[in-house]
Homo-oligomer: A and B are copies of this chain.
Amino acid sequence: MPVNYVTPAPEALFPVAGVRLGVAEAGIRKANRRDLTLMALDAGCTVAGVFTENRFCAAPVQVCRRHLAGGNEIRALVINTGVANAGTGEPGMQAAQKTCAAVGKVLGIADTQVLPFSTGVILEPLPVDRLVAGLPAAAADLKADNWHATAHAIMTTDTIAKAASRRVQINGKVVTITGISKGAGMIKPNMATMLGYLATDAGIAQPLLAALVREAADESFNCITVDGDTSTNDSFVMIATGQSGALFADAADAGYAELRQAIVDVARELAQAIVRDGEGATKFITVAVGGGKDRDESRKVGYAIGHSPLVKTAFFASDPNLGRILAAIGYAGIVDLDVDLVRVWLGSEGDEVLVAEKGGRAASYREEDGSRIMKSAEITVRVDLGRGAAAANIYTCDFSYDYVKINADYRS
C-alpha cells in the first residue's frame, strides 16, 4: 500500500502537444501484460536526460547516451519491462541497437533518433525478436491522451502507477507538463530501475534543457532513497516540444523561472511517488536539513539520516528514538561539526516539537510529544546544523518487515 498516493485519473493527465504514446503486449517476460511502450515525438522537440552512474550500466543506457551525445534529433522513445538488458555484454548492445533500428523502420526515422529503455530482470538476454514483433501494435496505439496507460505499462514490481501533470500560464500562454515514473526500491536488481519521463509543450533550447534536466533531477530523483542502492538502468528524460508557443532559449528569459519551478514540482511529485510506493513503506519521511555551510553537507546529513536502517526501523516502530537520529548526524562526515549548535525537530502537519539541542535531548522535550508525531504517516525530521544558510531535503520511507520479505522472497 503506497503512503498517501493514488494515480491521477486519466483525464487529469493532460496531453502534451507533440508527444504521442502507445502501448502493446509483446510477451517480453510474461504473457498478457502490456510491457512495451512507444513515445513518438513530432519534429522540432528538444530532449535531454540524466542516467545512472552505476558502472554496470545497462546496454540501453549506453545507447541513449550515445544517441543524445551525437546531436541527433530524437523522435522516439521505446521502453520495455520484464528484462533490463543489463549485465548482458556485447549481445545486449546488439539487442538495444536492433530495437532502435526496428523502431526507426516502423516510424520512418533513423535508428539514431531513437532512445531505448529497458527495466526488469538483470543478466537475462533481451528477447529482442518478441520486442520487435510488438512494435507495430504499439505504433498503432499512438495517441496524445495515453499517459495513464503508459504509466501502467512501465511498472514492474510497483504496486501503483505513478504520474503527475499540471497546466500553468506563462507569458500569456498555457503550458502543459506531464510525466510518469516507475520504481519502488532505488534498485530492484532483478526487476531493476527507476525510470522517469517528463514532457512539456514549452520550447526549451537544447543547452538550457540539458542544464534543466540535471537541476530537476537534483531536486527530485536525486533526493530520494528507499534502500540506498543505485540501479544499473536509472534514467530520467525530459522532452520539450515547443508546441505551446512559449519558447525559452536562456535561463534569464521572462517566465523561465516559473516554468522551471513547475517542472521541478512535477519531477518532485514523480520522485516522491516512488518513495511513497517504496518496498514495504508505511510512512513517508522528509528529512529537511538547514543551516549547512553548503548544500552538499546538508545533503550528506539528510542521506545519513535517510539511509540509516536504525532510524528507518525506529520510524516503522513509531519510536521517537532520538539517539539514532543524533548518531546519524554525527557520522555524516562533517568533521568540524559543533554538536552544541545542532537542533533537531520532529514534525507532522503543523505539529512540530524541538527534540534535541546543545548536544543532547532538549529540556522541553517530552517523550509523549515525540510518540504522537511518530505515529503519523507523514513525518518531517528538521535539522538545523547551525553552520550557515544552505539547505537540502531528502525523501525516504520507513524500513519494515515487508522490506525484508519483499527482497528476500523476490526470486523465490
Contact = CB atoms under 8 A, between A and B. Distances in A.
Interface of A: 53-57, 86-89, 92, 121-123, 185, 187, 189-190, 192, 227-232, 307-310, 313-314, 316-317, 319, 321-324, 326-331, 334-335, 337, 339-340, 356, 358-361, 399-401, 403-405, 407-412
Contacts of A329: 55-56
A327 B123 contact: no
A87 B329 CA distance: 12
10 contacts: A54-B327, A55-B337, A92-B360, A189-B323, A189-B324, A192-B327, A232-B323, A232-B326, A313-B404, A314-B410
Contacts of A314: 407-408, 410
Contact of A122 (B326, B404, B405): B326
B309 A56 contact: no
B87 A319 contact: no
Contacts of A400: 404, 408
A409 B206 CA distance: 52
Nearest to A87: B360
Task: Quickly give the copy total for this chain.
Answer: 2
A327 B232 contact: yes
A407 B324 CA distance: 11
A411 B189 contact: no
Contacts of A324: 187, 189, 229
Contacts of A405: 401
A323 B356 contact: no
B187 A310 contact: yes
Contact of A56 (B122, B228, B317, B327): B327
A55 B187 contact: no
Contacts of A331: 53-55, 229-230
B404 A330 contact: no
A135 to B, nearest CB: 26
Given A122-B322, A317-B407, 7 more contacts: A54-B331, A55-B331, A87-B323, A187-B327, A228-B307, A313-B407, A319-B412
Nearest 10 interchain pairs by C-beta: A122-B323, A56-B330, A189-B323, A317-B408, A313-B407, A54-B330, A230-B331, A87-B360, A189-B324, A55-B330
Nearest to A54: B330
A89 B89 CA distance: 56
Query: Which of A53, A55, A328: most chain B CB closer than 10 A?
Result: A55
Contacts of A323: 86-87, 121-123, 189-190, 192, 232
Contacts of A334: 55
A71 to B, nearest CB: 25
Contacts of A340: 89
A411 B323 CA distance: 12
